[in-house]
Structure formats: structure tokens, C-alpha cells
Structure 1
Amino acid sequence: MRTFRQHMAEAAARTLAEFPQESTAEIYAVTFRIDGVDQDPRFPYLAIGYNTETEVARQFAETGVSEPWETRWNYAYFPPSALEGIRVIGHDPAHDPVGADLHRREAMAQGLWYEDEDGLCEQEEDERGEALAEQFHELCVDLARRLHTDGGIVGALGRPVPVILYDMFDPDEMFALTRAANPPELVTEFLSGAPQGQPQH
């Protein structure tokens, strides 16, 4: 049986192939939105998408934002193709039943899974949830790295572009996640928006 990690890697590679051909020349970033069904850490999923230069120009013209970084890199301005993505993979039974089953099996084997009726105290639920979230973060970073090293991004888009990771539970984490997931030269502009005190390289 495939592992959850193998399933996610295969699904991520297939998703890149689903990006519309007419948009590939102006895609400047692949987007990974990390979230959970009903914001439950037991059900983490990844929405994979992209953003384009045309969309940035449209947003800049319509919103009149004075800071170009915001329009280009802040997910608050992202279109559905970048924020909602074009495919959801992970522990989302509605969108990825295979991934949901694999993730649950592995979480059970690790002793991290729990049901609401198990009667765990709040602290124990929080600890297990944090462990599951940390594992999923690591997996998403690894997926992005593999898309770079295995040639998935270049094969789909014809050139390297950054993968921008957004954790909807912790927006500030996007800088650390994105920094870890990409070659440094691809994320210089993105990291220029990191809060003061965070490394920008």
C-alpha cells in the first residue's frame, strides 16, 4: 500500500499537469494553501494552485494598493486559482478519499488519532493535534522541494517558479515555510515582506 507521503507527492505532480496551458507562460508562483476541514488538525489538506501576472495587474488596478508586494504575495488578494487552488489533496474525505484514508491509518499507527468520543482531555487533544499539524507542515515543505528537485515545476511551466506556502491557522508561518521549501534565489522578493526580526534569506 502507498504511504500518505507517496500519495501526496503523486497527487501534487498530477495537479501541476492540470494547470491550464494558456496560463503557464505568466504563472509566477505555485501556491500551497494549508488548511483543515472545519479547522480540525486531524483533517489537514493542501489546496494547490497558482497566480498569474495578469491577475496581479488586474488587482493592482482595481484595488489601488500602494504596496506592490501586497498585491503580488498577500493571499488576501489572491484569486480562487491561487487561494482555493485547482485541486485539494490530503485528509479531506470529500475531495481526496484515498488521502483521507491513508492519513487516518498512519495517524492511528502513530498513536496520534483520536475520535471525539474517546474522552481525551483537552491538553491531550491539543498535543496530538499539534503533532499532526507539524507533520503536515513538514510534508508540504518536502512536497514543494521535490517539485523543484524532481523537475516537476520546470516540466509543467518551462522554468522554475517559487512555491508559496500559506498556513491558514498561522499566517505568519508562511515566511518560514516558504523559505524552507524553495531555493533561496526564487523567494528573495517574497521574503522581503517578512516581518521585522525574521530573516529575509
Structure 2
Amino acid sequence: MAFQEHIERAADEVVAAFPVDSGIYAVTFRIDSVDQDPRFPYLAIGYTTEADAATAQHTASDAWEARWSYAYFPKTGLDGVKTVGRDQDGAELHRLEAESRGLWYEDDDEPDDRDGMLVEWFYEVCVAAARHLHDSGRIVQTLGRPVPVILYDMFDPDAMFRLTSQANPAELITEFLTEDPDQTPQRP
């Protein structure tokens, strides 16, 4: 099994276990890595609800921020329901694939541009996993309606709009993109 398949299967299982009729309006993908080392990435998969956004409205500076900014996501949206990628199988698959792509390096090696390439590859894996949730129908099967998958990396906030735009049908992220400085949806 490839690393991509591992992440997709795990995301499918996590979303399938989300609570039904709980007002979930977005699936969240927090992209991170152990000690900000791109050789050890993981994905925290979670969600946020209408009730969470209503609660955040009391402290957020505006309605968009309360609803879409990860700074106001609840524990289920920020930490996720489950973390995948650093599990034993995920870590092994990631390393093997990174090695086969020529991206892996040891601590005493100079990473050159491999750090950036590892980050971009993991972004691609996460975008594809979000697309899989839409294309397979998993989100609709679980929640009864389509909702966006919000992808964010707290250490690269500028990537949020690009990644979320690439991962979702445009009609699901119209409201989300109102704060995008580029305003360019990338997926039909």
C-alpha cells in the first residue's frame, strides 16, 4: 500500500465515525509534523460544528473568523478526532516512499531543497485525501450533505486558501474564500 492510500483510508474511517446530526459544517485537516520536521508529517482529522461557530462568535473579531479561522476551532477541529501519518504503518510507508523519491535525508545530511519538497508532497497527499472524501461520497454518506474540508498548516497560514481551494468543489468554499487575498478557486 502506498502512503497516499494509507492516508485516504484512514481519513475515510475517521469521517465515517463522525457523529451524525451534530451540525458539522466543515471537516478539518490540520497538517503538521513532529517538531516541524517535514520528514515526520501527520494529519489531524476533525470537524467543527455550527454550535462551535456560535460560541466563537462571542470572542472572534468577525463572523468569518469565528466560522473559518483555525484559531477559533474547537478541540475536535484543531487537534482532530484522530491523527494519521505518524502511526507505525503510516510512518513506515512515508519513509519508504520518501526514500524512493529521493527526498529522505538523515539528521547529519544537508536537506537542500528536500524539506520544501517533502512539505509540498505531503500537501498533495492531504489535498488528494480530501478530494477522495468528496469523490467517494463519504462525507455525504456520513453527514447527509456535502461540507468543505478545510486544510490548514498553522506554520504556513498562507497555504490554507490554496490547499482548501484545491481540495473542494468551488460551491462548497464560496464563503470561506471571501477572505482569500487571491480569490481564485482551483477545483471545478
Using the size of structure 2 for normalisation, the TM-score is 0.94
Q: Which amino acid aligns with 2:15?
A: L
Instruction: Say whether 1:144 aligns with 2:130.
Output: yes
Q: 1:43 aligns with which of 19, 40, 43?
A: 40
**Are 1:42 and 1:132, in contact at CA under 8 Å, matched by a contact in 2?**
yes
- The structural deviation recorded for 1:114 is 1.2
Identity of aligned residues (%): 58
- The higher radius of gyration belongs to 1
Using the size of structure 1 for normalisation, the TM-score is 0.88
Give the structure 2 partner of residue 180 of structure 1. Answer: 166
Q: For residues 66-121 of structure 1, give each alpha carbon's deviation from its aligned partner in whole angstroms, at most 9, with x where no partner exists.
A: 4100000010011110011001111x2xxx1110011011111222111113xx23
Please show how residues 38-117 of structure 1 align to structure 2 within 5 Å.
Answer: 38-61=35-58, 63=59, 65-90=60-85, 92=86, 96-117=87-108
Give the structure 2 partner of residue 171 of structure 1. Answer: 157
- The structural deviation recorded for 1:146 is 1.1
- Coordinate RMSD, CA, aligned: 1.2
Provide the secondary structure at the position in 2 that maps to 1:47: strand
Runs of 5+ unmatched residues, structure 1: none
Q: CA–CA distance in 2 between the matches of 1:170 and 1:105? A: 26
Provide the secondary structure at the position in 2 that maps to 1:171: coil
- Between Structure 1 and Structure 2, the one with more helix by share is 1
- Count, aligned residues: 185
Q: Which amino acid aligns with 2:72?
A: Y
**Are 1:188 and 1:200, in contact at CA under 8 Å, matched by a contact in 2?**
no
Q: CA–CA distance in 2 between the matches of 1:47 and 1:153? A: 17
Runs of 5+ unmatched residues, structure 2: none
Give the structure 2 partner of residue 17 of structure 1. Answer: 16
- The structural deviation recorded for 1:200 is 4.4
**Are 1:192 and 1:200, in contact at CA under 8 Å, matched by a contact in 2?**
no
